[in-house]
Amino acid sequence: MKNVIDWIQQATSIVVLTGAGMSTESGIPDFRSKEGRWQQVNPLTVATVEALKSNYALFQSFYRARIQALVDVTPHNGYYILAKWQQQKRVTHIATQNVDRLHQKAGATHVSELHGNIETTRCQSCGKQYDDATRFLNEARCTCGGALRPNVVLFGEYLPEEAWEKTIQAIRHADIVFVIGTSLSVYPVNQLPSMTTGKLIYINLEPASNDQQFDATFYGKAGEILAQLDELLL
Ligand code: NAD
Ligand code: APR
């Protein structure tokens, strides 16, 4: 941990990339752990455009449940530490695969949401944007009559161009890239670590298949490890 502290103190650009494991300490299940979402439901039946078209009722109930489960969720301490590091100009870019906006709720700004967000919705037919999920949770029909969906990027859909490009640029020039709470199972986000020449640091409960690429690995809870690192920083 000492050498990581030295790297952080010498760095001028630190990028943070998070996944679902960053939110489990806030009570949101991840996807591929033994209690993960994809152990209970096949993502092909709910998290693809095909699912949206062929079984809208199941798609709608899956995302409605996820939206309603977020209502009282608050960021854990690890999110506040990352927001503080951003305010201190240590962290220069935060990118996440999560759709829960807990980074922002903890005070982080300019977060690149690589898989979109679940708070806002749009019409699958006319593309009309809605600032919240109220209509999706109630009649779930657009004013044009089309089906509504959250602005979550589904399997097979493209990632938001700006978020993706900004993250690639930031990672390319980073002194350090922290990869936190992700199994790195999903393309193309799992390609990001290989795009940096900086130090790669992995914080995750369990090893990933390709974590030999990291310069430092911490296996444990993100909130606890971030707190230990924060305490050692001047
Ligand atoms: P994939 O190849 O189906 O998806 C990758 C594509 O989905 C990329 O274009 C990526 O940009 C896009 N994508 C955008 N947002 C995503 C999100 N929130 N989650 C996942 N992908 C997102 O993904 P894969 O993991 O390589 O899966 C291969 C096949 O296996 C797919 O058909 C997938 O549905 C199925 N599957 C995937 C998972 C999983 O979580 N990755 C689990 C079980 C089955
Ligand atoms: N601290 C650190 N790591 C944790 C914690 C924690 N408290 N809790 C869980 N983890 C780890 C798990 O061990 C797992 O390796 O976080 C990782 C989460 O991996 P996934 O469940 O695969 O989630 P993620 O990598 O974000 O999935 C990527 O797949 O299906 C899509 O839309 C989904 O955006 C998501 C994408």
Q: Where are the domains positioned within the chain?
A: 1-28+74-115+158-234, 31-69+125-152
pLDDT of residue 210: 85
- Ligand 2 pocket mutation, candidates 32, 102, 159, 218, criterion most atoms within 8 A of CB: 32
In order, the DSSP letters of 88-100 are TTSEEEEEES-SS
The two three-digit tokens of residue 181, written as one number: 């709470």
142 annotated to a ligand binding site: yes
Q: Which ligand is nearest to the CA of 97?
A: 2
CATH architecture under which domain 1-28+74-115+158-234 falls: 3-Layer(aba) Sandwich (3.40)
Q: Decide if pLDDT at 229 tops 90.
A: yes
Residue 43 CA, closest ligand 2 atom number:
30
The answer to whether residue 115 is catalytic is yes
pLDDT of residue 168: 98
pLDDT of residue 211: 87
The two three-digit tokens of residue 109, written as one number: 């700004």
Q: Decide if pLDDT at 209 tops 90.
A: no
| Alpha carbon of 208 to ligand 2 centroid (Å) | 10
Q: Decide if pLDDT at 155 tops 90.
A: yes
The enclosing H or E element of 231 equals: helix 222-232
97 lines ligand 2 (CB under 6 A): yes
Tallying the residues shown for the chain, one arrives at 234
Q: Virtual CA dihedral for 168, 173, 175, 180, nearest 10 degrees?
A: -10
Exposure letters 188-208 (e unless 16+ CB within 10 A, then b): ebbebbeebebbbbbbbeeeb
pLDDT of residue 142: 96
Look at 74 and 2; give whichever has higher pLDDT: 74
Please tell me which residue in 76, 93, 103, 115 is annotated as part of the active site: 115
Q: Decide if pLDDT at 140 tops 80.
A: no
Q: What is the pLDDT of residues 171-181, one digit of tens each?
A: 999 999 999 99
Report pTM: 0.89
Cα separation, 186 vs 72, whole angstroms: 28
pLDDT of residue 89: 96
Q: What is the pLDDT of residues 22-38, one digit of tens each?
A: 999 999 999 999 999 99
| Alpha carbon of 125 to ligand 2 centroid (Å) | 31
- Ligand 2 pocket mutation, candidates 30, 41, 81, criterion most atoms within 8 A of CB: 30
Q: What is the pLDDT of residues 45-83, one digit of tens each?
A: 999 999 999 999 999 999 999 999 999 999 999 999 999
ipTM over 0.90: no
pLDDT of residue 26: 98
Q: Decide if pLDDT at 214 tops 90.
A: yes
Computed over every residue of the chain, the mean pLDDT equals 96
Mean pLDDT of 100-105: 98
In order, the DSSP letters of 84-134 are HHHHTTSEEEEEES-SS-HHHHTT--S-EETTEEEEEEEETTT--EESSSH
131 annotated to a ligand binding site: no
pLDDT of residue 18: 98
pLDDT of residue 139: 82
Cα separation, 173 vs 168, whole angstroms: 9
123 annotated to a ligand binding site: yes
